């Protein structure tokens, strides 16, 4: 019997009525003969609310304790969904991550899944039960609860689907697929029927929060067919229609795919820029600056080093905004005096805007069109980075939405 994993996000689980609708949809799939594992998120707003409580008490709460708190939202969701399914006559059982067990490393608040034990779940499925597993959480070697980073339920779902060798992983959310850009920012953004795995990986890593990046990595590593679709449609809509709706992440660039030069525009408001200036320009300096930042488990994104003048240079890079304070602390405590830099300055009011598309490989002039569009809007570019299929710029955050709209139009991505 084919197994399908469903993932429902916060809005989809946002009220008891919505949870009853999820139960109806899941029951419909089960009645059609599929084995079903459901991975829900916490009810919308709940994770923010409980993390907020911890932050009311301490500006920098202990990450282990934060995970203890943050993981509880999902535990409420799985229990409520099991009750909703039982109320309509289905056998259902809920599990927390540690009960399955979903094992992770110990990087609290951004843990990575290392293994998933499928025995218990398979036994329940074979006994005809619908199995509901908390998204977002796991357990480390020492038995402590961990969480997978914000938006991590997507990753739990795809990882569970891979571990159980599911036929497909369906990510139900509050939009009906992946769009050319966030439809909340550009109202005439267009839904894509398919998006290549590579493009989805770039879009997710560049800030399109419709899927957490690690979920896309899992989908790629295990070639797990993954589809993004709406949970806000009629839960009893015909299955054949539902199976084909939304956006499929495709692993092939087939000729039928929408062939545009640019597939989408991504943006990220969560970046911060740090400049270490007056840095002696000598071998090993990049390592001396970024080594301690990496040791603090802070991911560095864009990096530039200027031409040196009289043996001194400036070194600029970006880090996640939530880790900006910690990165500044590491640099002023461990780095500045050590390398004899003149100073460190930072800016948290920056955003990254990126154009993404595999079509870029065979087209020239994309960068110049991007820069021309931004210049016509009077938007200053602070940093640039490129890969084979994307160009990113760092700009003042107050022009972020303007830049996204202008680029969306300039590359002809709107709904016609
Ligand atoms: P969930 O709670 O279901 O996980 P998220 O809020 O994490 O939902 O992700 C869905 C949201 O992602 C959408 O409501 C939309 O605003 C946003 N989003 C950002 N970029 C895109 C995109 N390119 N296509 C679709 N949605 C996007
Ligand atoms: N509840 C978690 C969050 O808000 C995980 C998720 O929704 O995917 O980040
Ligand atoms: Mg999400």
Task: Tell me the CA–centroid distance for residue 18 and ligand 2, in Å.
Answer: 17
Give the pLDDT confidence score for residue 38 in this predicted structure: 98
pLDDT digits (tens, 9 = 90+) for 88-114: 999 999 999 999 999 999 999 999 999
CA distance 353 to 370: 10
| CATH code that applies to domain 264-410 | 3.30.2130.10
210 lines ligand 1 (CB under 6 A): yes
Output the DSSP codes for 72-92: HHHHHHHHHHHHHHHHTT--E
From ligand 3's centre to the CA of 318, what distance in Å? 23
User: How many residues are given for the chain?
Assistant: 416
Q: CA 297, CA 95: separation in Å to the nearest integer?
A: 30
Q: Please, what sign has the CA dihedral across residues 160, 161, 162, 164?
A: positive
Residue nearest to atom 11 of ligand 1 (CA): 210
* Residue 138 Cβ < 6 Å to ligand 1: no
The pLDDT score that the predictor gives to residue 1 is: 82
What is the number of the ligand 1 atom nearest to the C-alpha of 154? 4
Spell out, as residue ranges, where the chain has pLDDT lower than 70: 253-260, 416
Beta-carbon contacts of 309 under 8 Å, excluding residues fewer than 6 positions away, are none
Name, in order, each residue with C-beta under 8 angstroms of 204's C-beta and a sequence gap of 6 or more.
Answer: 210, 211, 212, 213, 215, 216
Find all residues with CB under 8 Å of 261, minimum gap 6, and list them: 357, 359, 360, 363, 366, 411
Helices (H), 58-191: 63-70, 72-87, 97-100, 119-126, 153-163
Between the CA of 136 and the centroid of ligand 2 the distance, in Å, is 6
Domain spans of the chain? 3-175+210-250, 264-410
Our answer on whether the CB atom of 178 is closer than 6 Å to any ligand 1 atom is: yes
3-state secondary structure of 404: helix
What token pair was written down for 82?
A: 């099991």
Predicted pLDDT of residue 273: 98
Find out if CATH 3.50.70.10 is the number for domain 3-175+210-250. Answer: no
82 lines ligand 1 (CB under 6 A): no
Residue 60: predicted pLDDT = 85
Say if ligand 2 is within 6 A of residue 357 CB. no
330 Cβ contact partners less than 8 Å away, ≥ 6 residues apart: 292, 293, 296, 298
Rounded to whole angstroms, the Cα distance separating 207 from 352 reads: 8
Residue 227, beta-bridge partner list: 170, 248
Answer yes or no: is the C-beta of 135 below 6 A from any ligand 2 atom: yes
Cβ proximity of 144 and 109 under 8 Å: no
How many Å lie between the centroid of ligand 1 and the Cα of residue 182?
7
């Amino acid at each position: 019997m084919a197994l399908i994993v469903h993932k429902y996000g916060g809005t989809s689980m946002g009220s008891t009525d919505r949870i009853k609708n999820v139960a109806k949809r899941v029951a419909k799939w089960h009645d059609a003969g599929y084995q079903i594992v459901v991975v829900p998120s916490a009810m919308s707003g709940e994770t923010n609310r409980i993390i907020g409580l911890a932050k009311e008490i301490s500006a920098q709460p202990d990450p282990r304790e934060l995970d203890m708190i943050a993981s509880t939202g999902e535990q409420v969701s799985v229990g409520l969904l099991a009750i909703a399914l039982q109320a309509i006559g289905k056998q259902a059982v809920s599990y927390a991550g540690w009960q399955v067990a979903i094992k992770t490393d110990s990087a609290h608040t951004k843990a990575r899944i290392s293994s998933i034990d499928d025995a218990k779940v398979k036994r329940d499925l074979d006994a005809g039960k619908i199995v509901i597993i908390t998204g977002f959480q796991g357990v480390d070697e020492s038995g402590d609860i961990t969480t997978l980073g914000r938006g991590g339920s997507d990753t739990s779902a795809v990882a569970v689907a891979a571990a159980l060798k599911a036929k497909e992983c369906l990510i139900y959310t509050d939009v009906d697929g992946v769009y050319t850009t966030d439809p909340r920012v550009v109202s005439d953004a267009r839904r894509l029927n398919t998006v290549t795995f590579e493009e989805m990986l770039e879009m997710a890593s560049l800030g399109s929060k419709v899927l957490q990046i690690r979920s896309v990595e899992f989908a790629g590593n295990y070639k797990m067919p993954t589809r993004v679709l709406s949970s806000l449609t009629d839960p009893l809509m015909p299955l054949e229609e539902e199976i084909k709706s939304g956006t499929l992440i495709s692993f092939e660039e087939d000729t039928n795919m929408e062939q545009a030069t640019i597939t989408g525009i991504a943006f990220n408001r969560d970046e911060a820029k740090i400049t270490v200036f007056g840095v002696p320009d000598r071998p090993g300096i990049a390592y001396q600056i970024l080594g301690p930042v990496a040791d603090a488990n802070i991911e560095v994104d864009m990096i530039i080093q200027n031409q040196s003048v009289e043996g001194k240079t400036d070194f600029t890079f970006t880090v996640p905004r939530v880790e900006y304070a910690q990165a500044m602390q590491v640099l002023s405590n461990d780095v500045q005096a050590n390398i004899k830099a003149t100073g460190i300055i930072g800016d948290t009011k920056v955003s990254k805007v990126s154009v993404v598309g595999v079509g870029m490989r065979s087209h020239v002039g994309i960068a110049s069109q991007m820069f021309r569009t931004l210049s016509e809007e009077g938007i200053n570019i602070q940093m640039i980075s490129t890969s084979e299929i994307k160009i990113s710029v760092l700009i003042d955050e107050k022009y972020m939405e303007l830049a996204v709209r202008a680029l969306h139009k300039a590359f002809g991505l709107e709904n016609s």
